[in-house]
Amino acid sequence: MTKRWFLARLLAAGTAAAALSVGLVLPAHAADETPDALVQRLSSEVLDALRNDKSIKAGDVDKIMVLVDKTIMPNVNFRRMTAAAVGPGWRQASPEQQQRLQEEFKQLLVRTYAGALAQVSDQTVSVKPLRAGAEDKDVLVRTEVRGRGDPVQLDYRLEKTPGQGAGWKIYNLNVLGAWLVETYRSQFAAEINAKGIDGLIQTLSARNKGNAARG
């Protein structure tokens, strides 16, 4: 794979690997934060952590988990992301199966993130002007990751959530023209059609165990 693709995987997976948002409260300033400002802040914090922490750059999964749990987790609707990736089968899954799917999907994305970290250095993120009205509840934030080589397109879909923990939350990402949720949906659909929901869970679990064994 090219370094450009590794970079895209890093930033997309790093954001998507946020854990479940149920019951979490956003930082006080986040409720009033605009979606483009949120994306800029998260991108900068992830890249700053990469520059300043050698163990994160080396792919230390435990450190990466701490990073995404602290920095990214409150700002992603991971339940919605997982449900969309699973597709129609999500509604047929039991609560226990849905929980397992979220856990295994998170591990898959975090491992992808860890594997890509060592390939990245000296990148910056430029957030393009937001095209949205003040009353919009669902927006697209476009960014461009710049460094060596060609710029990388990385866009985010966000929704504005009400109530406790109100604020903008990411639920999908576009990496080099491919939406992350739709990419996984086609893979997951094949597994569900062949083996059912439990079969998908087993496949994800086996892949995660294999990735962990390879370090």
User: Are residues 208 and 107 in contact, defined by beta-carbon separation less than 8 angstroms?
Assistant: yes
Strand partners, 173: 156
Contacts with 88 (C-beta within 8 Å, 6 or more apart), sequence order: none
Span 29-49, pLDDT tens digits: 455 789 999 999 988 888 888
Distances from the Cα of 166 to the Cα of 10, 151, 152, 173, angstroms: 27, 33, 30, 21
Position 69 scores a pLDDT of 74
Position 190 scores a pLDDT of 94
Question: What 3-state DSSP class applies to 54?
Answer: helix
Q: Is the pLDDT of residue 22 over 50?
A: no
Listed residue (148, 91, 97, 143) closest to 121, CA to CA: 148
Span 151-185, pLDDT tens digits: 888 899 999 987 666 789 999 988 878 898 998 99
pTM confidence score? 0.79
3-214, what's its fold?
Answer: Nuclear Transport Factor 2; Chain: A, (3.10.450)
Cα 149 to chain centroid distance, Å, stands at 24
Q: Is the pLDDT of residue 135 over 70?
A: yes
Distances from the Cα of 111 to the Cα of 17, 78, 105, 151, 196, angstroms: 9, 16, 10, 24, 24
Position 158 scores a pLDDT of 96
- Helix axis angle, 78-86 to 95-117, nearest 10°: 100
